[in-house]
Amino acid sequence: MPTNVRSEIRDRVAIIRIERPHKRNAVDATTTAELDAALNAFEDDPRLRAAVLTGTDEVFCAGTDIVAGPGEPTERGGPYGIIRRAHRKPVIAAVEGLALGGGFEIAMACDLVVAAENASFGLPETLRGLVANSGALLRAMRCLPLNVARELLITGSRLDARRAHEIGFANRVAEPGRAVAVALELAESICASSPTAVQATLQALDEQWAAAEEAGWAATDRAQARIEAGPDVAEGLAAFAEKRPPEWTDR
């Protein structure tokens, strides 16, 4: 039976792949459920110490499947099965090609990032009358310099792999096609450490951000409510579907 998420085990590391290439790995309800299940299995297996999350060789993830929708948030992972997940073990994003919108937010929800030289990160939501509602409004300014985060969020411009590495978002840059291989090397270096110490460290870091996370999600909800109350979201999505420039209201 075809699936959208495939997992494999390499020694003490889980490799989790999002595979919907005909939709640029955009997330629908099935993908959310399967990604959640794969991450739950990784977290619950005491033999595994790190995970590598990736897409296909051409694209990491284009975000939400706008037509089908991403399905409901999961109990343990929240949106997409990962966005609000409390990580007990490190997850490394291995990014080839595009990581757009929710795809970029999935990468932000990981603990470390390996970007292939052909990787490109972007948050195009405002170009469509939307706001980034899966974590970027709170995590972008934590993962990136503030003005870079602000520019990406309000212009929809792209961040390439080299720049992502220079400003500290990407931990490693890999040759195209080698993001997973480099991420596995990074995962093996994690496995050399005490798993108890690694988990305690991640928990301590997360605890220090907990209050900011809650405030950030509340601010995201307010931003989402504001755009849902106006006409721009409908115009943005219609323009996107019709492949034309949007005609925004002046307010």
Query: Which of the residues are catalytic?
Result: 105, 125
Element (H, E) at 228: helix 195-228
Residues 6+ apart with CB under 8 A from 113: 92, 93, 95, 107, 164, 169, 170, 171, 172
CA distance 126 to 250: 15
User: Residue 168, Cβ neighbours under 10 Å: how many?
Assistant: 11
213: which 2 tokens?
Answer: 């996370």
Element (H, E) at 115: strand 112-116
